[in-house]
Amino acid sequence: MTSLSNKLAVITGSNSGIGLGVAEVLAAAGANIVLNSFTDRDEDHALAADLAKRHGVKVRYIAADMSKGDDCRQLIAKAGDVDILVNNAGIQHVAAIEEFPAAKWDAIIAINLTSSFHTIAAALPGMRKRGWGRIVNIASAHGLTASPFKSAYVSAKHGVVGLTKTVGLETAEVNITCNAICPGYVLTPLIDSQIPDTMKKYNMTREQVIRDVLLERQPSKEFATIEQIGGTAVFLCSPAADQITGTTISLDGGWTAL
């Protein structure tokens, strides 16, 4: 297994779901971790302490609001010498474009896209100075294709893919890589909590909802897993991926092959 001993990884939006799962796998590979979200609760810091104890690494929790550029940059400053940056923070809202609340559009673009600009800009000088860095942006199949009623999310994730390409080109000669992971549907607690209402709405079983509604566009008819996303992030930090930069890796069961 790839050893990331003595590397410091910052994962935005990582007190639950995909972000926490990526942090788990990076910690298992030996990386020290900074967890992040916008809350600052006892349970957030307890989560960090538990992760540290189980994997024998250093883990801190730093609260920062990813909708605010200054907070994004302060997160990197407070973290220290960031070797691995995983931009994961994101929110979603679904509505027809003419009914899409402007405030929701602004928030989704800020958190899902602009936060990555700020964290990357803040982390790159240190990575350049140390001569090594790995940036992993959690994009989406929606960074490569589109669905109706998700205008802000699709726009933001397409933007993340474009940002990834640009950063990859700007850092290609300095042993820093920047790549985007593009998952299809992942069975996070948030997605799982929506299944019962969908079952009632369409009078379907849980299995039917998963196969015919959630995974309709995912040819494998299987969710991508948090562990797979974390494993891909670790791979992108390994020597085997030294020449992989400015590109996307799809974990979507064939969705974007259609």
Catalytic residues: 153
Q: Which of 156, 172, 82 is nearest to 122 (CA)?
A: 82
Please tell me the distance from the alpha carbon of residue 216 to that of residue 117, in angstroms, as a whole number: 32
Identify the sign of the CA torsion 187, 188, 193, 197: negative
CB of 215 within 8 A of CB of 148? Answer: no
